[in-house]
Amino acid sequence: MPKITFFNLPKEKQDKLVFAARQEFSRVPLYQASITNIIKTAKIPRGSFYQYFEDKEDAFFFLLNERVEANKNYLFTLIKQHDGDIIQTMVDLFELIISEEEENLSFLKNIFLNMTHRIETEFERSFNDYDAKEIKIIELKSLIDKSKLNLSNDEELTYVMKILISVMIRSVIDKFSRELSNEEAMRGFRIEIDLLKRGLAKN
């Protein structure tokens, strides 16, 4: 997380620095990103950057956390629109993600094509309550209509969420790595979701 000095900045200066960081992490993945480029775009001395962030990883994960919070807000809106249907919610969320504006899409592409365990774990916080105090995710799960799912108990809902997010992450990676059109990506994702809905084993 950024240092307290970052949060003490006027919003205009915060936004300028965040814009510069997002531009750099949209241009290249984290391991190739340059603090020099960030400070040039933000028009601040190098020393000032380190007053606000520990390092470039700190800035990157701050932006990723913003993305996680945006995903949670999307989820709340969609799950309410679909009357608790988590499967249709995930289909719509996938479409939202791959239809982002160009700059956000470039940032996401660099996230997904250079996924590490830490990045994946952080991204999955959009959907899973790894932290028992994560009120938003607990509240989200309360909005899911369990009668629309083939569940034996509440614990299985956690695993359903893990399966759905795993399929979605792999489908987003597939879209970026194979340079699929949005239509091709949606078609493939819908096929996988339909297979899950029908079940994979014959009775």
Side chain identity at residue 96, one-letter code:
L
Q: What is the pLDDT of residue 90?
A: 93
Half-sphere CA count of 117, side-chain side, radius 13 A: 0
Phi–psi pair at 131, nearest 5 degrees:
-95, 120
Q: What is the pLDDT of residue 31?
A: 94
pLDDT digits (tens, 9 = 90+) for 14-44: 999 999 999 999 999 999 999 999 999 999 9
Q: What is the pLDDT of residue 9?
A: 94
Say whether pTM exceeds 0.75. yes
- In this prediction, residue 155 has a pLDDT band, given cuts at 50, 70 and 90, of confident
Cα separation, 189 vs 34, in Å, equals 35
pLDDT digits (tens, 9 = 90+) for 74-86: 888 999 999 999 9
As given in the structure block, the two tokens for residue 188 are: 């493939």
Three-state DSSP string of 73-131:
HHHHHHHHHCCCCHHHHHHHHHHHHHCCCHHHHHHHHHHHCCCCHHHHHHHHCCCCCCC
Q: Which residue has the tokens 């028992």?
A: 132
Select from 54, 87, 121, 94 the least CA-distant residue to 176.
Answer: 94
Tell me what the mean pLDDT of segment 55-67 comes to. Answer: 93
Cα separation, 171 vs 157, in Å, equals 21
Instruction: Calculate the alpha carbon distances from 82 to 86, 104, 182 in Å.
Output: 8, 26, 22
∠ CA 122-125-147, nearest 5°, is 155
Q: Are 168 and 94 in contact (CB under 8 A)?
A: yes
Percent of the chain with pLDDT over 90: 67
Instruction: Calculate the alpha carbon distances from 193 to 114, 149, 168, 198, 200 in Å.
Output: 25, 13, 9, 9, 11
- In this prediction, residue 132 has a pLDDT band, given cuts at 50, 70 and 90, of very low
DSSP 152: S
